[in-house]
Amino acid sequence: MDTQRRKFLKIAGASVLAGIGAPAIIKLSASTALASDHGVAAGAHGAPAGAAHGAAAHVEAVPQGVRLGMVIDMRKIIEQPVLLDNAITACNEAHNIPQIGNRKSEIKWIWKAPFENVFPGESNYHLAKNVEKSDFAVLCNHCDDPPCVRACPTQATFKVKENGIVAMDFHRCIGCRFCMAACPYGARSFNWEDPRPYIKKYNNQFPSRMRGVVEKCNFCGERLALGQEPACVEACKGTGAIVFGDLNDAQSEIRQVLDKEFTIQRNTSLGTKPSVFYIV
Amino acid sequence: MIEKTLKGKPAYWIWLAFLGMFMAIGAFCYSRQFLFGLGMTGMSRDVSWGLYISQFTFLVGVAAGGVMLVLPYYIHDFKEFGKITILGEFLAIAAISMCLLFIMADLGQPLRALNVVFHPTPSSMLFYDMIVLNGYLFLNILCGWVILTAERKGIHPPKWIYFFVYLSIPFAVSIHTVTAMLYCGLPGRHFWLSAIIAPRFLASAFAAGPALIILACLVLKRVANFDAGKKAMDKLVTIIMYAALLNTFFVFLEVFVGYYSNIPGHKHSIEYLFFGLEHHGHVYDNLVPFMWTSVILNFGALGLFAWPYARKKNEFLLGLSCVMIFFALWIDKGLGFVFAGFVPNPLEEITEYIPTANELGITLGIWATGFFILTLLYKIVIGCEHEMEH
CATH code, A230: 3.30.70.20
pLDDT tens readout for residues B288-337: 999 999 999 999 999 999 999 888 888 899 999 999 999 999 999 999 99
Whether residues A175 and B341 touch (CB distance < 8 A) is answered with no
Within 8 A of A107 by CB-CB distance, chain B residues are: 45
Helical packing angle, B230-261 and B288-306, nearest 10° = 140
A97, A140, A149, A192: which to substitute to probe chain B, counting the most B Cβ within 10 Å? A192
Flag whether residue B38 sits within 8 Å of chain A, measured between CB atoms: yes
From residue A183, give the alpha-carbon distance in Å to each of A58, A141, B48, B50, B198.
19, 10, 12, 17, 21
Name the DSSP letter for residue A62.
Answer: P
Give the pLDDT of residue B7: 84
* Cα distance between residue B159 and residue A188, in whole Å: 52
Bridge partners (DSSP) listed for residue A168:
A157
Flag whether residue B116 sits within 8 Å of chain A, measured between CB atoms: yes
> Judged by CB atoms within 8 Å, which residues 248-277 of B form the interface with A?
265
pLDDT averaged over every residue in chain B: 93
Cα angle vertex B36, ends A211, A14, to 5°?
Answer: 40
Give the pLDDT of residue B304: 93
Mean pLDDT of A225-236: 94
Within 8 A of A178 by CB-CB distance, chain B residues are: 124, 126, 182
Domain B2-383: which topology?
Formate dehydrogenase/DMSO reductase fold (1.20.1630)
Q: How far is B159 from chain A (nearest CA, A)?
A: 37
Flag whether residue A122 sits within 8 Å of chain B, measured between CB atoms: no
pLDDT tens readout for residues B208-260: 999 999 999 999 999 888 888 889 999 999 999 999 999 999 999 999 999 99
Residues 6+ apart with CB under 8 A from B151: B157, B384, B388
Flag whether residue B189 sits within 8 Å of chain A, measured between CB atoms: yes
The more confident residue out of B1 and B185 is: B185
* Cα distance between residue B247 and residue A206, in whole Å: 51
Residue A147, Cβ density class (10 Å: 0-12 exposed, 13-18 middle, ≥19 buried): buried
Q: How far is A234 from chain B (nearest CA, A)?
A: 27
- In one letter, which amino acid is B229? G
Which stretches does DSSP call E strand in B178-318? 277-279, 282-284
Flag whether residue B289 sits within 8 Å of chain A, measured between CB atoms: no
Give the pLDDT of residue A16: 39
Helix (H) / strand (E) containing A277: strand A276-279
pLDDT tens readout for residues B159-180: 999 999 999 999 999 999 999 9
Residue A93: count of CB within 10 angstroms of its CB: 17
Give the pLDDT of residue A60: 56
Give the pLDDT of residue B130: 94
Quick one: pLDDT band at residue B385, thresholds 50, 70, 90?
confident
Give the pLDDT of residue A24: 38
Share of chain A above pLDDT 90, in %: 70
Within 8 A of A272 by CB-CB distance, chain B residues are: 187
Q: Which of B119, B123, B161 is nearest to B139 (CA)?
A: B161
Domain that holds residue A228: 2-279
Give the pLDDT of residue B52: 96
pLDDT tens readout for residues A107-117: 999 999 999 99
Give the pLDDT of residue A61: 58
pLDDT tens readout for residues A150-172: 999 999 999 999 999 999 999 99
Whether pLDDT at B107 is above 70: yes
Mean pLDDT of A202-209: 93
Mean pLDDT of B377-387: 88
Q: How far is A34 from chain B (nearest CA, A)?
A: 29
Whether pLDDT at A222 is above 70: yes
Within 8 A of A173 by CB-CB distance, chain B residues are: 108-109, 112
Mean pLDDT of A76-86: 95
* Cα distance between residue A227 and residue B221, in whole Å: 75
> Judged by CB atoms within 8 Å, which residues 85-104 of A form the interface with B?
103-104
Flag whether residue B308 sits within 8 Å of chain A, measured between CB atoms: no
Name the DSSP letter for residue B192.
Answer: T
Quick one: pLDDT band at residue A19, thresholds 50, 70, 90?
very low
Q: How far is A263 from chain B (nearest CA, A)?
A: 20
Shortest CB distance from B116 goes to which of A120, A174, A213? A174
The chain B residue lying nearest A268, using CA atoms, is B188
Within 8 A of B44 by CB-CB distance, chain A residues are: 103-105, 192
Bridge partners (DSSP) listed for residue A276:
A70
Give the pLDDT of residue B5: 84
Shortest CB distance from B108 goes to which of A106, A147, A190? A190
pLDDT tens readout for residues B92-102: 999 999 999 99
Residue A182: count of CB within 10 angstroms of its CB: 24
The more confident residue out of A44 and A175 is: A175
Within 8 A of A267 by CB-CB distance, chain B residues are: 188, 346
Flag whether residue B126 sits within 8 Å of chain A, measured between CB atoms: yes
Flag whether residue A58 sits within 8 Å of chain B, measured between CB atoms: no
Flag whether residue B127 sits within 8 Å of chain A, measured between CB atoms: yes
Whether residues A270 and B187 touch (CB distance < 8 A) is answered with yes
Within 8 A of A105 by CB-CB distance, chain B residues are: 39, 44-45
How many domains in chain A?
Answer: 1
Q: Is the dihedral of CA B317, B319, B320, B322 positive or negative?
A: positive
Give the gyration radius of chain B's Cα atoms: 21
pLDDT tens readout for residues A232-247: 999 999 999 999 999 9
Whether residues B189 and A181 touch (CB distance < 8 A) is answered with yes
Shortest CB distance from A153 goes to which of B109, B124, B265? B124
Shortest CB distance from A154 goes to which of B119, B125, B183? B119
Residue B300, Cβ density class (10 Å: 0-12 exposed, 13-18 middle, ≥19 buried): middle
Helical packing angle, B288-306 and B315-331, nearest 10° = 150
Give the pLDDT of residue A47: 41
Preceding omega of B344 cis (within 30 degrees of 0): yes
Whether residues A120 and B36 touch (CB distance < 8 A) is answered with no
A105, A176, A194, A196: which to substitute to probe chain B, counting the most B Cβ within 10 Å? A176
Give the pLDDT of residue A38: 37
Mean pLDDT of B186-197: 94
Quick one: pLDDT band at residue A44, thresholds 50, 70, 90?
very low
pLDDT averaged over every residue in chain A: 82
